[in-house]
Amino acid sequence: MFPSDLHQKIKESAIIAVLVIDDAANAVPLARALLRGGIGAMELTLRTDAALDALRAIRDEVPEMLAGIGTILTTDQVDEVVAAKAAFGVAPGLNRRVVEYAQDKGLPFGPGIVTPSDIEQGIELGCRTLKYFPAETAGGLKHLKNMAAPYQHIGIDFIPLGGLNANNMIDYLSSPLISAIGGSWIASRDLIAAQDWNQIEANARQARENADAARA
């Protein structure tokens, strides 16, 4: 479960840049490029060995960036993420053991959901912000609205990820179901590897403009 202050920061950010980083040396200039473009939250995925070192570098040198870790699949990874002082953690699915362990360790955690049964498991575990993944493949915003309807009175919201882009993000962010969106197109793996900070900044700025328009 996300504490209220963290939840508010994520909601105000509206966009979480989802990142696959291969070289931790790119972490700080990447974070600064995103901030210049108006994005102040990121999820570094544990798909590469560089993710935790990247997180540590950002925490030390760009503390204004809200930096979390994604693709947390095991309790051992929870320990590593907590030790690296991630602001939050998320997972592509809902593993009860991992969620409960993260809660025990004090790590704000958003499990992934794609079915009503997933939502109910999340609710039972005390989670009120859930990752909707893979959003577009699963049926997009229309599917989410229908699926979430029986649970809205409980006060849950969602962070969709998977297939979102500059063209459809406004529709998502216009929905009261959405606290923020996850965007991997803003700083793709190739752009990061090429150290194309100007393009990443431009993508971030466009996403920020779209988010502001959606919530105006």
77-82: long-range contacts (C-beta < 8 A, 24 or more apart)? 77/46, 78/102, 78/105, 78/107, 79/105, 80/52, 81/46, 81/52, 81/107, 82/106, 82/107
Query: Cα–Cα distance between 39 and 26 in angstroms, integer?
Result: 17
Is 105 a catalytic site residue? no
User: Of the listed 61, 80, 131, 145, which one is catalytic?
Assistant: 131
User: Of the listed 9, 11, 12, 43, which one is catalytic?
Assistant: 43
Tokens found for residue 190: 């190739």
Structural contact between residues 210 and 166, judged by C-beta atoms closer than 8 angstroms: yes
Is 43 a catalytic site residue? yes
Q: What are phi and psi of 149, to 5 degrees?
A: -50, -45
Active site residues: 43, 131
